[in-house]
Amino acid sequence: MADCCVQYFLLLFLLGASHWTLTQNLHCEVGRNLHLEDDPGRTFNWTSKVERCDPNELCQETILLIKAEGTKTAVLASKGCAAQDMESMTFIQYTPPPGLIVVSYSNYCNDTLCNNRDSISQFWKPPETIATSRMSGALRCPTCVALGPCSSAPSLPCPSNTTQCYQGRLELSGGGMDSVVVHVKGCTPMIGCRLMATMTSVGPMTVKETCSYSSFLQPRKAESRASWRLTPLWLLELLPPALLLPLSHFA
Ligand SMILES: *[C@@H]1O[C@H](CO)[C@@H](O)[C@H](O)[C@H]1NC(C)=O
Ligand SMILES: *[C@@H]1O[C@H](CO)[C@@H](O)[C@H](O)[C@H]1NC(C)=O
Ligand SMILES: *[C@@H]1O[C@H](CO)[C@@H](O)[C@H](O)[C@H]1NC(C)=O
């Protein structure tokens, strides 16, 4: 009698275990992309290979995009399995235009191949390069976005409403991005070493920002705070509200 029940429970346990194994057999797209692109919203194809995850992992897809006025866009993209407790989708604009632009998109999801976004056109539409006539003329900054050190950083005229020359580097690790360094120089209204709005991670990547900056106008604090919080219309139009985090949280 006791024997029969033990076996019965053992069978149930084994059935449960094999069911558990099957449902945990999550497959995700996996890949790493590091590019400088002219128009990634149109040309970047984020399709990747496939890997099988360990239990307790989810699929993730994360992209960090960095551009200065007149430069190409640095695209830093990671897909794969990642240890994570919760599904989530975030879009963060760390530095809004004019001048430097830094945004990220990150998605953790729990269905096979759910990290299958292939285009970034929905959330990457930076304003057209500003015509020279709208440059304020007096202000110029060394300008470059490079994977590694800048080989050159021409002094370019700044767009209106920018007040600072930013010069810094971002060092990434995790999410397949170990030892990736991006150098960034350009005009911005943003004050200080805050290209990443002092945040230290993007999806599975950690980001360390180091920089020096020089102000070439007396910082006018009220005005600079206002432009810091400006959310350009091109983002608001393109994203469902759930994707937009309140920017003031990061200001
Ligand atoms: C992911 O899905 C599996 C199978 O449906 C479930 O057991 C697990 O708890 C889910 N994980 C998360 C973090 O939602
Ligand atoms: C990306 O490439 C894949 C495979 O080559 C293709 O199926 C897909 O349509 C492409 N997506 C875009 C947005 O071009
Ligand atoms: C500069 O900022 C002012 C005030 O915020 C705004 O009215 C103006 O349109 C901006 N100029 C440009 C070129 O963006």
Radius of gyration (Cα) for the chain, nearest Å?
22
Q: What pLDDT is attached to residue 129?
A: 66
Q: What pLDDT is attached to residue 212?
A: 75
Got the DSSP string for 182-239? Answer: EEEEEEES--SS-TTTT--EETTEEEEEEEEEEESS---HHHHHHHHH---HHHHHHS
Q: How far apart are CA 54 and CA 160, in angstroms?
A: 50
What is the count of structural domains for the chain?
1
Q: Is residue 8 part of a domain?
A: no
Largest Cα–Cα distance in the chain?
Answer: 93
Paired strand residues for 171: 181, 208
Angle at 35 between CA 152 and CA 249, to 5 degrees: 95
Q: Is residue 9 part of a domain?
A: no
| Closest C-alpha residue for ligand 2 atom 7 | 47
pLDDT exceeds cutoff 70 at 221:
no
Q: Is residue 10 part of a domain?
A: no
| Closest C-alpha residue for ligand 1 atom 9 | 56
pLDDT exceeds cutoff 90 at 246:
no
Q: What pLDDT is attached to residue 76?
A: 98
| Closest C-alpha residue for ligand 1 atom 1 | 110
Q: Is residue 5 part of a domain?
A: no
Domain that holds residue 148: 25-222+230-250
Mean per-residue pLDDT of the chain = 80
For the chain, what percent of residues have pLDDT higher than 70? 71
From the CA of 226, give the closest atom in ligand 3: 5
- Rounded distance from Cα 202 to ligand 3 centre (Å): 30
Tell me, using a 6 A CB cutoff, whether residue 118 lines ligand 2. Answer: yes
Q: Is residue 184 part of a domain?
A: yes
Q: Alpha-carbon dihedral of residues 51, 56, 61, 65, nearest 10 degrees?
A: -130
Q: Is residue 19 part of a domain?
A: no
| Closest C-alpha residue for ligand 2 atom 5 | 47
- Rounded distance from Cα 40 to ligand 2 centre (Å): 14
- Rounded distance from Cα 46 to ligand 2 centre (Å): 8
Q: Look up residue 95 and give its amino acid.
A: T
From the CA of 230, give the closest atom in ligand 3: 5
Tell me, using a 6 A CB cutoff, whether residue 23 lines ligand 1. Answer: yes
- Rounded distance from Cα 161 to ligand 3 centre (Å): 6
Q: What pLDDT is attached to residue 137?
A: 62
| Closest C-alpha residue for ligand 2 atom 10 | 45
- Mean pLDDT (whole number) for 207-225: 60
